[in-house]
Structure formats: structure tokens, C-alpha cells
Amino acid sequence: MLKRLLKYRKRKSENSIYRIENDTLFLSKGLTLDTVPKFSAGILNDLKSIKSQNLIINLQDLKDIDGAGVTALFWLKTMLREKGVSVRIENADIHINKKIDLFKPEIIDIRDKKKEAGFFESIGDNLYQFVSSYLYEFMVLAANVFYFSATDIFKKRKRRKGEFTNQAVLIGVNATLIIVIMSFVIGLVLALQSAQQLRDFGANIYIVDLTVIAMMSQMGPLITAILVAGRSGSAIAAEIATMKVTSELDALQTMGLNPIRFVVVPKLYASLVTMPFLILLSSVAGIVGGAVAAYVYLGITPEVFVNRMVDSVSNKQLITSFVKSQVYASLIVLTGSFYGFRVLRGAEGVGKATTAAVVVAISLVIIADSVLGLMFF
Amino acid sequence: MQKEKIIDVKNLGASFDGTVVLSDVSFSVYQGEVTVILGSSGCGKSTVLRHILSLYPLLQGDITILGKQLGNLTEDQQLDLYLQMGVFYQNGALLNSMTVEENVALPLKQHTKLPDHLIHDIVRMKLGLVNLEHAIDQFPSELSGGMLKRAALARAIVMDPPIMFLDEPGAGLDPISLEALDKLIINLKEQLGMTIVLVTHEVSSILRIADRIVYLEKGRVLFEGTLRDALKSGIESVSNFFSVINDADKIKS
């Protein structure tokens, strides 16, 4: 057993690139990328046996050293110095010395120790960042956008020519088909799900009130806003982010064109104008879906449906959906442009900005929906 | 004494969509030398480099690097070869989602078992070599063009590779930064014994650092030899290439 142990220790020392004798650490073979991991893992432990306050590192037998080796050597020196041991490197070959000189290892001596923030500190820091950076910048952007969009109504020359129509088509017209289809399906399913319960109570005719009120003041605006946020919110963020990354916004600025006025304001106009129509279309499609379900499942004819509908629609619902359309349109355009302007770091940043814009826009729309829902209750 | 051949390119040919880009290109790169591949724009310099780096499939000719013949290497052999090469790309090619430190540390983290604190120190040291240690926590998009190049150079040398490939490292640098870069390249060659292959247009830089020159024209090797021979060769294209410097000397005098 003892023999095997001795043999093992001998083999270990043969493989090792260092040996310790008295107060001297002898390095041999090569201190390179291949040997450094093992060296750095074991050396501090092995040096514990040394009692003296002075250590000599003898490089006489060292044949090769590279960047990793130089780093390890000076890491060791620094660690020992912190323990009060002074280290001297001697007998290095001229080639080894040249390499050590090239890598200027003294840079490593200035250690940068980052202080980790505590739990409450990081919460406070995040909150401060949120208020001072996100909220503040969002408010500034919103103020700018609303200011310019209000003043530019009267300054025709300041407006970007033809851009309103262009954006109205992109944000509004191109979204009609998907909004109509989705709203029809949701209206149909909504009526279908409720029909069962209403029939049990013999309150078949109330399917009309249910569908109309739900679609006009709640589902129509919400579906439209979510779809527009997904389609146009992301497009706005991506467009502005790309413009920022490729310095187009800087170019606009130096041409004397305010980027907010030139890029954001036409989008806000377009969405403020098209959004009420989209919501109206969505509500109508949803009601048609509801009417189909009412006819098929409860036998309510379209004639009866329309008659009852006229009674249940009130101005309040129309006003509700109009107010919602304006709020949602502003939120979507502002969020999209906010994340677009905030973009950092090239192409990858554009992707992140787009994702964030969609997620935040939809969240804000839902929050606004609940607030407005309570207001118009 | 004949130096050891590190890279041997024989009869390399390439064509894209029927257009011949390289034909019959042959040259050698020797241990511990700076070999510059030069020629006017579109002569196939970068294509040669991309073949050597196995970024294009080898369809015509043979390339041998460190005794290994490209084209029929296994995945492990190719990886082994890549680990012995440092490559610097013209636009830096740093990963934008990572800081400078993470970029430079990437090869060390993926291919070695070094502890993190040593990797951090090595990265700082390599960044110190290119005078960029102050930008360690910055992202590539926050760096200027010259800083980006220096960070990319630090990444290329972080594993202390025996062979370095540099694709137009001097493009877009001011003359002072260029001189510092050349000095670093000479140091890498002389003190670490690196073999360096350089693609560049910068005549001043070539005169400072080149040991050997491979001059390409229209996809063919027009001249291969030492810098001194190139200057004396009498080949019109080669002389024209270097005449810019003579003109500058004339203006000075």
C-alpha cells in the first residue's frame, strides 16, 4: 500500500510543472494554457508548507510561457503579497523575460473589486432607474409628441407631405381584414357560449343586448387595440430603432427636421383618425358574428336582432368606444416610438426594442381598458 | 537556413457563378514571418484568406496548414487547427450582445479550464496590450472604429495562437494608431514567434512589417518573395503599388 502511494506521489511530481524546495518554487517545462488550470488550482495549497516570508520563484528550467502563464505567475505574486509574503522571480531565460515584458503584467496588479449591491439597495436602485429613466423619458416624449401634434394642426408647412395618408393606410386600412375576421369569430363564440345559459333561463332575446354591449364598449376596442399594437406598435418601434441605429435620426436632426415631428407625429395623426373606424368595424363584425350565433342556436332572426339592437345601443357606448380608441391609439404610438428611440447596440437592440414595445403596449392597453371601464361604468 | 513552412497553398482555384476568381494560386508562409497578401481591390485577396480559414470549401488545389491538409479533416482536427489560429476580421466581428470583456474572454471560457479570475486577468492584460483596458465593460456599439479593431485584435490573440490572420487591420485607422498597431504586430512576431498572415492595402504598414510579399492580380500570383525583392522586381504593377511612398518622399524632399 505504502509502495503504491509513494509510486503515485512520484508520478504526480513527475507530471507536475513545479516543485517546492525550502523557500523556492521551481517551475519547469511550460507554463501555458494547457498547464495553467492545474497550476492555479493546486499551487496556493502546496505553498502553505512554506513558513518563510520570502519566496523565490526560480524560472531556470521553464522552457515556455504564454499570456495565460504570465497572468498566473502574477496572480500568484499578488495573492502571496496580500498574505504578507514577498516574492522574487529569478533566473528567467531571456526569451521568457521578453514575453513577460511584452504582456505588461503590472496591469493585473490594480485589482478592480466590484461591490455587490444588497437586496434592498438593488430594489431601490431599480425603482430609481425606473422613475428617473423610463417614466421621466416617457413623459418627456409624450409631452413632445402631443405638443407638436397639437401645434402642427395649424402649421401645414411643417407637416411631412403625404405621410399622413401613407401611415393611415399602413396602420388603418391594411389592418381591416384581420380585425374584421378576428372580431367576427370572437362575437360568434361569445354569443355561442352565452346562448346555453340564456336559454336555460328563457332569456333568449337578451343575447342581443349582451353581444352589442360587450362588442361596442369592451371587446371591439380591446381586440382592435391588441391587434394594432401587435401589427403597428412593433412596426413603429422597429422603424424608429433602425433609423436610430443607422444614424438616420441624426441625419434628420442636422437637416433641420425634428425626428419627433417628422416620424412620430404623422403616425399619431394616422392612428388617431383610423382607430375609431377600426373599432367601429370590429364592433359591427362582432355583432354580425353574434347575430349568426343567435340565429343558428336560438332561432332569433336577423330582423328581430336588428330591432332589439336599436333599443340597446346608446350614445354612451359610442362615446366610450371613441374615447377608448383615442387613448389606445396614443398609447400604442407612444410606446412604439419610446422603445424605438431608446434602442441601444445595433441590430440586436432593434429586436429587443420591438419585443418590448409590443409587450408593454398591450399591457398598457389592458390597464387603460380597466381604468376606462371603471370610468364609464 | 530554410525556415519551416507553416502554410502551403498549391494551385488554388476558385470561381463563383462561372466567374473565375482565383486560378493557380500557389505560395508559402514561413515560420515566424509576416507574410503580406496584397493587390488592388477585387484581386481575390480575401477569397484566398477565406479558403485558408476553411470558410469556403476547397474545390481546386491543396492547402496544408501545420502539416494538415485541408479538405479532408475531421471535425475534431479542424477544431484543433482553429484553436491554433487567431483571426482578425476587417470590421471587428465582435458579438454585439456581449461586452468587450465577454467577447475577448469567449475563446478562453469555451476552450480552456481556466478559473474565472484568471480569465478576467488575462483579458485585462490582452486589452492592456492594445491600450483598451478602460473599455472593458463597454459594448461594441459604444466603441469607435479604431477601438473596435483593437478589441477584435485582443480577442484574436487571447489564446496566444501560433498563427495569426489579419484582414485589413489598418483600414480606417489614423497613421499614429496604425503605427502602434504595426509595432504590436512586430512584437507578436519577434517576442512570441507568431507567424502572421496579413491582407492589407496600407503601403506604409507593409514597408514597416512585411517579411514576405504575395502580390495578387486578377486572381493570379504576380509576385512572391521578400519585400526587398519586391521593391527591386521591376514588375510594373508591383512598382506602381509602392510608388505612392516614393511620391511622398519626393514631396518631402
Give the CATH number for residue B180. Answer: 3.40.50.300
B141 reaches A (C-beta below 8 A):
yes
Is the domain of B177 the same as that of B250?
Answer: yes
Of B219, B159, B246, nearest to B11 (Cα)?
Answer: B219
Of B133, B142, B160, the CB nearest to A67: B160
Are A351 and A241 within 8 A, CB to CB? Answer: no
Q: Which residue of A has its CA nearest to B96?
A: A345
Is the domain of B253 the same as that of B129?
Answer: no
How many domains, chain B?
Answer: 2
Domain boundary among B160, B177, B202: B160
Domain boundary among B141, B160, B179: B160
Q: Is A111 a residue whose pLDDT tops 60?
A: no
Are B165 and B86 within 8 A, CB to CB? Answer: yes
Query: Could A37 and B113 be called an inter-chain contact, meaning their C-beta atoms sit closer than 8 Å?
Result: yes
Secondary structure in 3-state letters for chain A = CHHHHHHHHHHHHHHCCEEEECCEEEEEEEECCCCHHHHHHHHHHHHHHCCCCEEEEEEEEEEEECHHHHHHHHHHHHHHHHCCCEEEEECCCHHHHHHHHHCCCHHHHCCCCCCCCCHHHHHHHHHHHHHHHHHHHHHHHHHHHHHHHHHHCCCHHHCCCCHHHHHHHHHHHHHHHHHHHHHHHHHHHHHHHHHHHHHHHCCCCHHHHHHHHHHHHHHHHHHHHHHHHHHHHHHHHHHHHHHHHCCHHHHHHHCCCCHHHHHHHHHHHHHHHHHHHHHHHHHHHHHHHHHHHHHHHHCCCHHHHHHHHHHHCCHHHHHHHHHHHHHHHHHHHHHHHHHHHCCCCHHHHHHHHHHHHHHHHHHHHHHHHHHHHHHCC
Q: What is the pLDDT of residues A235-257, one digit of tens each?
A: 999 999 988 888 788 877 877 77
Is the domain of B114 the same as that of B128?
Answer: yes
Interface of B with A in 12-71 (CB under 8 A): none
Is the domain of B132 the same as that of B51?
Answer: no
Of A37, A72, A77, nearest to A57 (Cα)?
Answer: A77
Query: What's the fold here for domain A11-109?
Result: Transcription Regulator spoIIAA (3.30.750)
- Band of the pLDDT at A143, cuts 50, 70, 90? very high
* Secondary structure letter of residue B92 according to DSSP: -
Query: Could A67 and B121 be called an inter-chain contact, meaning their C-beta atoms sit closer than 8 Å?
Result: no
Is the domain of B73 the same as that of B97?
Answer: no
Q: Which residues pair with A27 in a beta bridge?
A: A18
Is the domain of B194 the same as that of B234?
Answer: yes
Query: Could B191 and A99 be called an inter-chain contact, meaning their C-beta atoms sit closer than 8 Å?
Result: yes
Mark A289-301 as b/e (b = at least 16 C-beta within 10 Å).
Answer: bbbbbbeebbebe
Q: To the nearest whole number, what is the mean pLDDT of chain A?
A: 85
**What gap in Å lies between CA A331 and CA A252, rounded to an integer?**
25
Is the domain of B55 the same as that of B108?
Answer: no
Of A33, A103, A348, the CB nearest to B96: A348
Min Cα separation A138/chain B (Å): 23
Interface of A with B in 303-362 (CB under 8 A): 344-349
Q: Residues, chain B, total?
A: 253
Query: Could A75 and B118 be called an inter-chain contact, meaning their C-beta atoms sit closer than 8 Å?
Result: yes
Is the domain of B176 the same as that of B112?
Answer: no
B38: containing domain: 1-84+164-253
Query: Could A40 and B114 be called an inter-chain contact, meaning their C-beta atoms sit closer than 8 Å?
Result: yes
DSSP secondary structure, B13-44, as one string: EEEETTEEEEEEEEEEEETT-EEEEE-STTSS
Q: What is the pLDDT of residues A5-57, one digit of tens each?
A: 445 444 444 568 888 888 888 888 888 888 888 888 888 888 887 777 888 88
Burial of B206 (0-12, 13-18, 19+ CB in 10 A): buried
pLDDT, residue A132, reads 86
Lowest mean pLDDT among A48-62, A330-344, B106-120: A48-62
Query: Could B133 and A75 be called an inter-chain contact, meaning their C-beta atoms sit closer than 8 Å?
Result: no
A75 reaches B (C-beta below 8 A):
yes
pLDDT, residue A309, reads 85
Sequence spans of domains, chain A: 11-109, 131-154+162-375
Is the domain of B142 the same as that of B168?
Answer: no
On chain B, the residues whose CB falls within 8 A of the CB of A105 are 125
Grid coordinates belonging to B143: 466603441
Domain boundary among B140, B160, B180: B160
A36 reaches B (C-beta below 8 A):
yes
Of A355, A147, A98, A130, nearest to A234 (Cα)?
Answer: A355
Q: What is the mean pLDDT of residues B211-217?
A: 91
On chain A, the residues whose CB falls within 8 A of the CB of B192 are 66, 99, 102
On chain A, the residues whose CB falls within 8 A of the CB of B159 are 33
- Band of the pLDDT at B145, cuts 50, 70, 90? confident
pLDDT, residue A11, reads 46
Query: Could A37 and B112 be called an inter-chain contact, meaning their C-beta atoms sit closer than 8 Å?
Result: yes
Report CA torsion sign: B53, B55, B58, B60: negative
Are A263 and A240 within 8 A, CB to CB? Answer: yes
Judge if pTM exceeds 0.80. no
Is the domain of B2 the same as that of B75?
Answer: yes
Min Cα separation A116/chain B (Å): 16
Is the domain of B76 the same as that of B109?
Answer: no
**What gap in Å lies between CA A92 and CA A98, rounded to an integer?**
10
